[in-house]
Each structure stands twice: as structure tokens, then as C-alpha cells.
Structure 1
Amino acid sequence: MKTLTPSRKALLMVGVGAVLISFSSIMVGLTRTAPTTTAFYRFLFGGLGLLLIALLQNKPLLNGWKPLGVIIPAGIFLCCDLGFWHRSIHIIGPGLATLMTNLQVFIVAGAGVVFLKENPTKNFFLAIPLAVGGLYLILAPDWQDTGAAYELGIFFSLVSATSYAFYILFLRRSTVSRGADSALGNMTMISLTSAGILSIVIFGLGESFAIPEKKDWVFLLIYGLLCHGLGWLFIAKGIAGIPASLTGLVLLLQPTLAFVWDVLIFDRSFSITEAAGAGLTLSAVYLGSSGMNK
């Protein structure tokens, strides 16, 4: 069997992580907890699961206080991403909100070129608009009739996209600065930091931490441990081994595969246009990654 190069191995890790986090929307849809509470348990269960792995493997979480200068901002941006995304969904619907949030790919690519001095291939620059166009074909049917708060919903989703992009960049920085072996400690601390921030938000808003039924515990545990904890651990392990710009593109697999799981698991009806959009996005992700060293 042919051995994968380090860059291909890193790309595979990010891809596997994207597949795992693509099940997030299914878990969120199945649980009946409030949106902010759902996000809190995602981070709490994911963080505690990663903490247990770190303790069993005797892995250090931090080497001094310096890494917190990257980890804490990553946690803040991750909370902002989810918080503003959830709010934009209530105003402009899940389709348009998800499309707008995934415009992170342009922000991450721009930061990669300008600040990280990355030099993407021509295929990559072609792949980005193709991938976003594919997402448009998938998500456009879910756009709802917009009301007076349309501009506010667009603003929230753009804040979400920017926060998502900065989270990706800070996560990458945390791994680059400390080495690939630090991914477990980084994601543990980011997750628990995010849980702490959201607990303050929930208290401040007077919302409840209650989990309604036993089945909600199951969905939240899967959401936290597998979708968030394991999924982002794979991404954190691979993110330093590929360009930041490519990471943003590969993460577009999340909303695309979420559509595929919806069709396969929940027997969702779909149109030729939506199917073409999924195919286009998947092809674009492959195209964008095809220029890497084999």
C-alpha cells in the first residue's frame, strides 16, 4: 500500500473531521434543548471527553500560560460563530444563513494569501466559487420569505462567517505554534473555554440548562463527543499540515454532507438542482485539493 505524504495525511484528517462535524445538524435537529443550551452541552461534553482522553494518555493540556493567548480567542470566536449563526437562522432561515456563514472560505483564503504568504494553485481559485455556487444550489430552496429584519439577519450571518474564519485561523495557529501533538490539549481547552463562556451567557439571559428527556441526553452526547470532540480533534491534528486556505475549502464538506445525510437518513425529497449542487461542491473540494503534493 502506498504511504501517504504528510500533507495528504493532514488533508485526510481534516476531511474525516469535516465528515464527523457534518452530522451536527442532525443531532441539533433531534434534540429539544434551547439553541444556546445545545451549544453549551456540545462544548461541555466534547471538552470533558477530550479531557478524559488526555488524562488517560497522560497528555499535557498546556505548557505554561502563553498558549492561552491563542486558545481563549479561538474559544470566543467559536462561541460567536454559533451564537450569531443560530440567531441568523431565526431571521433569514437555515439555508441562507448557512450559505452566508460558509463564506468563511473567502476570508480564510484571503488571510492565507496576505498574512501567511500562501500561494494557492489556479485550481484552488477556480474551486472556491464553484464550491460556493454548489452550496447555493443546495441551500437556496430553503430560503424563507424575508421580512423587515432581513438586513439584521444578513449582518448576523456575516459576523458568524467572520468569527468562523478567525476560529479556524486561531485553531491553526495554536497547533502550528505548539506542534501537532498539542491538538488534543488545544481542543480540550478551546471546548471548555467555550462552555464556560456560554454558561455565563445562559445565566445572563436567564435561560435553562435543563435537558428535557433521556433521548436528548443521547443526542447531546453524540453531538458533543463525536461531532464536536472527535471531529474537531481530527481537524486540529491535520490543520497545521495543509494551507489555511485549503482548510476553509475542505470544511465546506460539512453543509454539503449534512444535505446528503438528510436525504439518506431522513428520506428528504430533493430536486435535480440540489443534487447537482452537492455534486458540484464535492467536485470543487476535490479540485481545490488536487494541486497538493502527491
Structure 2
Amino acid sequence: MNIVKRVVSTNNNLPPGILGIASRSFKAIKLPGESLDSSDSPCLLHAIHVFHCPDGVGIVSKLSECIASRGGNILSADVFVPENRNAFYSRSEFIFDPVKWSRVQMEEDFSKLSNMFNALKSVVQVPMLDPKYKISVLASKQDHCLFDLLYAWQEGKLPFHITSVISNHDRDPNTHVIRFLERHGIPYHYLQTTQQCEREEDILNLVQDTDFLVLARYMQVLSGNFLNSYGKDVINIHHGLLPSFKGGNPARQAFDAGVKLIGATSHFVTEELDSGPIIEQMVETVSHRDNLRSFIQKSQNLEKQCLAKAIKSYCELRVLRYGQNRTVVF
């Protein structure tokens, strides 16, 4: 099995030639004789393509040939071939002229490659043409992750549209979260839950028209039946103190134990609690100088940053599932 090195160009003014050489053959990667620079042609659009298929000879060649044959220009290309696995993963960013290469034709071209290589996943995204992701955010009492997502959405920092916020906590109408949601016309659904009634059917009815769900410190377990019925990705965030400090008030437990390193983990939700494929993790040191208040503040800041980065990576097609419980994050 050949191990492929990562090939990335960070220079937007690319020369009309080969981007780089890895141990897999890149001889067929030929960019157009005239460099496509978005500063020269304002009609050029940016696109992303991800590909996952069984490993084989000529995949990189055919992918690059598909883009170049339509006048597109590759800006970056990431390839991963794991050891001892018959698998190939890639993510490419490129610019193209929509007059010469229509969105419909692009889908057809990449679909042919999917059939050629028996692809398990082939997704193309053109941010300027394609609709934004539609998401629902589930939250409980804590606001820090929820409000951070609302602010990022308002500022256009994350490429999604929030269709609703669902919570098992009844917020007062005068809270900053409710006022924000009312100001922006985002519905807030309070679903009271008990041990006997998790309200999962009601949640399913509210999220049918979404592309994925985000659990922003939602302190309820979603069952396997819910996940199977929803059938799309669910992204969760939790503190990085697990599994050492379970149960109530983990920050107090960790603070009292004198830990020196705290963190946050964002992952896909699976039926096994807090054990889904990890998307993003962040850590920070704490010391004897931290009190409980600063300890909690650091932990919450990590959770906000980690969740936002995981969602951004997911929306930019940087996250691919790998094996039973792992991810490739380009």
C-alpha cells in the first residue's frame, strides 16, 4: 500500500503546473496553461469536492483531469490513504467559470467518477450557489454555547441558517437569548422532559427539514431510535474532563481534584453515550492561581471554541468518517 503525502498549496496565485509530488503518481495533474486567478475574472466561483472510495491507481489523476478539462484550477488538494486499509480520501478546492461549467454539469461529471471508482461518498459544494445548511440547536439551561452560535450566525462567521432552538428549559421572555431569537425570527420550542417522557417524537417533528443537529450543552440523552429515525448527523460538545469526572458539577469535581489540564471535545452523536467519532478537541492549562470561577470560565470558553470549529469544519466538508469510530479532518 502506498502512503500518500499531503499536497497543499496555500498560495492563491498558483503557477500553471504541477502542485506537488507524492509517492502516488501525480503525473496527470496538469492545470490549464493560463492560470485562473479570481482577481482577473470576477465571475469565477470557488468550489469544494470531497471523495471517499476504495483505493486504486489513477484516482488523483482522474479527479484533477475532471476539474482541469472544464477549465477549473485547483487551489489545494488533500489526500489520505490509511495504512492496511483499502480506502482513499480526498478534499479539493478549486475555482471555475460557471458559464463554462454549469452546476448541473459539475454534478454529472463527479457522478461519473463516483461510478468509475465505486465511491462511498462524493460531494461537491459551491458556497455562492448552494443553499446554506439548515440546522436546529438543542440546548438545556447553560447558554454559553448556544449564544456563541447565535452570535456567529448573526455575524456570518458560520455557514448555516438556524431554523429553531429547542430546549428542555423554559427561559424567561426577558432573557438575552429569547430577545435575540425574537429579534431574528427564530422559533424557540420549550419541550418539558421527564424520565418517563423524553419528547423525542416532538423533537423529530420539529427537525425534519434540517441538514444536521447541534447539541449545545443539551443535557438529555438521545436514544438510538431517535438517531435512526432522524438519519442525519448530530454534533455534540462536552467538557474534556470525561471520563474522570462524571455526574453533576464536573467542573467543581475537577477543580477540587487539582487538575492542571482541561479541555473540550466535539463529536458525532452515537447510541453509545459520548463515544462517537471525534471531530475536534481543545485543551488549556490551569494552575493553582485559578479559582473555581476562572476555572469554569476557561472550560466554557473551550467548549464554545471547540464546537464552533467543529461545525465550521463540518460545513466546509473537512470531516469524513473513517473506520468504525474515527474521522479524517482535512
TM-score range (shorter-chain normalised) is: under 0.3
Structure with a larger share of its residues in strand:
2
User: What is the TM-score of this pair, normalised by structure 2?
Assistant: 0.21
User: What is the TM-score of this pair, normalised by structure 1?
Assistant: 0.23
Structure with higher Rg: it is 2
Structure with a larger share of its residues in helix:
1
